[in-house]
Amino acid sequence: MNVSMRKRVINNMNLIFASQNKGKTKEIKSLFNGTGIEIYSLSDLGNDIDVPETGETFEENAFIKAKAIYDIYDVPVIADDSGLAIEQLDGRPGVYSARYSGENCTYEDNNKKVISELENLPEPHLAKFISHAVFYDGTKKIDCVGELPGKIILDIRGTEGFGYDPIFIPDGFDKTISELTFEEKNNMSHRKISFTQLKEKLLEYLNSL
Ligand code: IMP
């Protein structure tokens, strides 16, 4: 895509969010709400592709996803790779967060596995969520990172959110993310941090074209 074409597509403010994750998609659409930027998820496009995450870091995986979807649609893409890093588990589940207890596992399976690995270890079980957000338009790559520190509890609490939210208490709170509202999570999450930076850098890039 040449520069003027790129500018037109981005100025039309259509971006694809390269994810099949409904929880993340809801968060990202809400973050871009009011910016004039229209976010299309893969399911909006009727695409059920599952891009294999073959990278060894969040950053590599985010770019692998963004590039795979860009190569299909030739439209600017945003993507993130995110997960949970637990100090006492040397950073696990890390890039394996989605499939920590095996292929096709549920969020509950993963939460139970984490709880069983931590239950004989001393509290607090310090952890952080990490999100690497990427923009890619075939030429330009923008990469931003966001982190949300907190601790894991050995109990599954609350109904909001997804993934490890029901066992994670963010610093400064006494509730799990699943006991907070969608808005409360979306105001402070690792994705909020990484994608807010990404939005700002994207606007700078647009101005420079
Ligand atoms: P990804 O779709 O490959 O980035 O995998 C992300 C996985 O990390 C999810 O399936 C969740 O298990 C976990 N994860 C990422 N972000 C969050 C979050 O905000 N809350 C809870 N779990 C998360």
Average pLDDT, the chain: 91
Q: What residue ranges define each of the domains in the chain, with the CATH number in brackets?
A: 3-208 (3.90.950.10)
Helices 190-208 and 22-32: crossing angle, nearest 10°? 50
Q: How confident is the model at residue 3 (pLDDT cuts 50, 70, 90)?
A: low
- Tell whether the model's pLDDT for residue 49 goes beyond 70: yes
Write the CA distances from 38 to 29, 71, 101, integer angstroms: 8, 20, 35
Highest mean pLDDT among 4-8, 119-123, 199-203: 119-123
Closest CA to 154 of 200, 184, 122: 122
**Residues 92, 65: Cα–Cα separation, whole Å:** 21
**Region 41-70 average pLDDT:** 93
- Tell whether the model's pLDDT for residue 4 goes beyond 70: no
R_g (Cα) of the chain, nearest Å? 17
64-87: per-residue pLDDT in tens?
A: 999 999 999 998 999 999 999 999
CA of residue 83 to ligand 1 center, whole Å: 5
Residue with tokens 């001393």: 122
CA-20 nearest atom, ligand 1:
2
Q: Is 160 in the pocket of ligand 1 (CB under 6 A)?
A: no
Q: How confident is the model at residue 11 (pLDDT cuts 50, 70, 90)?
A: low
Per-residue b/e over 23-34, b at no fewer than 16 CB within 10 Å?
bbbebbbebbee
The answer to whether 186 and 27 are in contact (CB under 8 A) is yes
Helices 3-11 and 190-208: crossing angle, nearest 10°? 130
pTM of structure: 0.90
